[in-house]
Homo-oligomer: A and B are copies of this chain.
Amino acid sequence: MTNRFINRRDLDFVLYEFLDVESFCSWQHFSEHDRQTFDGVLDLSTAIARDCFLPHARTLDEQEPEFDDGRVILPPEVQEGVDAYLESGLMRAHLTFEEDGMQLPTTVSQAAIGMMYAANVSIASYPLLTAGAANLIRALGTDEQRARYEAPMWEGRFFGTMCLSEPHAGSSLGDLTTKAELQDDGTYFITGTKMWISGGDHELSENIIHLVLAKIPGGPEGSKGISLFIVPKHLVNDDGSCGEHNHVTLAGLNHKMGYRGTVNTLLNFGESGSTRGYLVGEPHRGMQAMFHMMNEARINVGYGATMLGYAGYLCALDYARDRPQGRHPDNRDPSTPQVMLIEHADVKRMLLAQKAFVEGGLALCLYTAKLVDIQVAHPDEAVRAEATMLQALLTPICKAWPSDYCLEANHLAIQVLGGAGYTRDYPVERLYRDNRLNPIHEGTNGIQAMDLLGRKVLSDGGQGLRLLASRIETTAQRASDDETLAAHAQAIRAAMGQVAGAAAEVGKQAAMGSLRAALANATLFAQSLGHVVIAWLWLEQALVARRALETCSEGERDFYRGKCSACDYFFRYEVPTIEAKLAVVARLDATCIELDPNTL
């Protein structure tokens, strides 16, 4: 069994050579940093992931959380991993110095968090859900709320959740029925049931701060009538200590295909007694508020998917290097020694596909993190505005593309290991099962596709798409000058043209009033645009690698050549697949939407 879960060389390449995070240090906000502090954070997180997360991944899969007399029993390894992470201060890495944080670029803190995902996504979820909830209160809470709830979350005394879905309302949040009734003291009584709540109950922390979507009676119907509430498991006293139980009760656990170490719960509010909630932001503005957390969560879902795919790729690679099996088809001499699995063309194909997907996914996720840093700290307002626009466009792609294709990477990793991959003695089947959640939660990939095509492409009049196209064109121009990349430059121009053409046809249809027909093939559009974005980032990586190859040491050549090969693979095997998909989108194919369900 492999112990690799991360390729630091590749991470360094993406951070320092592709995204040039060192250049961020010239911006005021990050001026206290340099490569040394970044490397220190990466070394620390590598050590925690390797020592406190990775060794427990199998145990957490095998010892599912148990429901015992209203309590959740977790294996002790969860606490151990969580404590190590909290003690490291990594959770506060992105906070400002005044907030007792490291004021680190998100690009770097995300790189660090990625290692936790790769090593043990189940443990990583607890602090990351907590950070998500804390970030929301940080952005939208009152000073009093920040002091009472947010501060203890960064300390790790309180953990957090997001409570959106209900048994009858998953994707359709507008239909939720949890009620929030205003009391004389300005607080609300919360009643209802929330479903699929990760980290919804446990004893890892003194308290759990639930961020709950609920409706205040009398408000607008649908999603415009949703408000957001802080609902602590235990009420918090003025001195910060935990007081009485707030009647958030555990109604059951979900037993999942994977991701088993992260307890997933059904919670009742206000059933065994009054549950008190505290409004965050304005009444009826809960959806907008929640999207603060949700956009972050969506990017993290895709990032987690990438890192699970990455861990599987490394395992498959190590296995294929070490396992002798068979001979080449043109060698009929059985007395010759067997070759290693990695020598076979089809195994190379499966490994190269994995590499292209997972390293492509990593580039996407950290590029998106860079957009966050630009928005926070770049001195030029126009640059910041463009980053905002690009991030909006890329968020659904960040969520959906890796959870489709890095899951496919996990599938291929199993296949490379063959029978061994199908056993629980190797991590690849678990990594697949863990990753299988990612196309589902935080908005299914179908929802992401509607968001991408409907909101991010059509509703903004194509501004975001044009910005992306101009960025791609700039890259293509640079690539045209390198004869080994010129064909790829042509291919990505053509591909982006196909995307734009399909979007235009969809736009015409929407303008004629049939939004439903226009969005019918949104998933194929999203997969295709995702491929174009990844192809673009591969071309960028190849440009960096080609330049490096001119001057690098002999020992570094293989790494850069591998980058070029993965880029070639993506352009030769993957980019050509989008034409058929986009043709479906562009012709507004109505096979699915017009299907009579009775005929299924």
Q: Which of B196, B419, B573, B593 contacts A170 (CB 8 A)?
A: B419
A233 within 8 A of B: no
A335-350 interface with B by 8 A CB criterion: 335, 338, 340, 342-350
Cβ–Cβ contact A346 & B446, under 8 A? yes
A425 within 8 A of B: yes
The complex places the Cα of A344 from the Cα of B196 at a distance, in Å, of: 22
A439 within 8 A of B: yes
A contact set with B: CB distance below 8 Å:
165, 168-172, 174-175, 195-196, 221-224, 254-258, 317, 321, 324-330, 333-335, 338, 340, 342-352, 355, 414-415, 418-419, 421-425, 429, 432-433, 436-437, 439-441, 444-446, 449-450, 454, 513-516, 519-523, 558-559, 561-562, 565, 568-569, 572-573, 576-577, 579-581, 583-584, 589, 591-593, 595-600
The complex places the Cα of A425 from the Cα of B414 at a distance, in Å, of: 25
Cβ–Cβ contact B591 & A568, under 8 A? yes
Cβ–Cβ contact A338 & B422, under 8 A? no
Q: Which of B429, B519, B580 contacts A329 (CB 8 A)?
A: B519
| Chain B residues whose CB sits within 8 angstroms of the CB of A324 once the complex forms | 168
Q: Smallest CB–CB gap between A220 and chain B, Å?
A: 8
| Chain B residues whose CB sits within 8 angstroms of the CB of A165 once the complex forms | 419
The complex places the Cα of A577 from the Cα of B581 at a distance, in Å, of: 8
Q: Which of B170, B335, B568 contacts A221 (CB 8 A)?
A: B335
Cβ–Cβ contact B170 & A256, under 8 A? no
| Chain B residues whose CB sits within 8 angstroms of the CB of A340 once the complex forms | 597
Pick 17 A–B contacts, CB within 8 A, sort by A. A168-B324, A169-B325, A175-B338, A222-B335, A254-B419, A255-B424, A255-B425, A342-B597, A345-B592, A346-B520, A346-B523, A348-B592, A422-B436, A422-B440, A433-B433, A573-B591, A576-B583
| Chain B residues whose CB sits within 8 angstroms of the CB of A317 once the complex forms | 600
Cβ–Cβ contact A330 & B576, under 8 A? no
Shortest Cβ distance from A579 into B: residue:
B580
The complex places the Cα of A577 from the Cα of B565 at a distance, in Å, of: 23
Q: Smallest CB–CB gap between A562 and chain B, Å?
A: 3
Shortest Cβ distance from A450 into B: residue:
B329
The complex places the Cα of A414 from the Cα of B403 at a distance, in Å, of: 14
| Chain B residues whose CB sits within 8 angstroms of the CB of A168 once the complex forms | 324
Q: Which of B257, B351, B520, B573 contacts A423 (CB 8 A)?
A: B257
Q: List the number of copies, as a whole number.
A: 2
Shortest Cβ distance from A225 into B: residue:
B334
| Chain B residues whose CB sits within 8 angstroms of the CB of A513 once the complex forms | 330
Q: Smallest CB–CB gap between A40 and chain B, Å?
A: 29
Cβ–Cβ contact B257 & A597, under 8 A? no
| Chain B residues whose CB sits within 8 angstroms of the CB of A345 once the complex forms | 516, 519-522, 592-593
Q: Smallest CB–CB gap between A169 and chain B, Å?
A: 8
Report, nearest first, the 9 A-B pairs whose CB atoms are least far apart.
A222-B334, A562-B599, A172-B326, A576-B580, A346-B446, A257-B429, A345-B520, A349-B592, A330-B515
Cβ–Cβ contact B592 & A454, under 8 A? no
Cβ–Cβ contact B423 & A254, under 8 A? yes
The complex places the Cα of A572 from the Cα of B524 at a distance, in Å, of: 13
Shortest Cβ distance from A559 into B: residue:
B599
Given contacts A440-B415, A561-B596, A596-B561, contact A325 B172 (CB under 8 A): yes
The complex places the Cα of A429 from the Cα of B435 at a distance, in Å, of: 13
Cβ–Cβ contact B577 & A591, under 8 A? no
The complex places the Cα of A558 from the Cα of B600 at a distance, in Å, of: 8
Cβ–Cβ contact A423 & B255, under 8 A? yes
Q: Smallest CB–CB gap between A435 and chain B, Å?
A: 11
The complex places the Cα of A342 from the Cα of B597 at a distance, in Å, of: 7
Cβ–Cβ contact A414 & B436, under 8 A? yes
Shortest Cβ distance from A578 into B: residue:
B580
Q: Which of B343, B562, B577 contacts A580 (CB 8 A)?
A: B577
| Chain B residues whose CB sits within 8 angstroms of the CB of A514 once the complex forms | 330
The complex places the Cα of A583 from the Cα of B574 at a distance, in Å, of: 12
The complex places the Cα of A254 from the Cα of B195 at a distance, in Å, of: 35
| Chain B residues whose CB sits within 8 angstroms of the CB of A445 once the complex forms | 415
Q: Smallest CB–CB gap between A473 and chain B, Å?
A: 23
| Chain B residues whose CB sits within 8 angstroms of the CB of A174 once the complex forms | 334
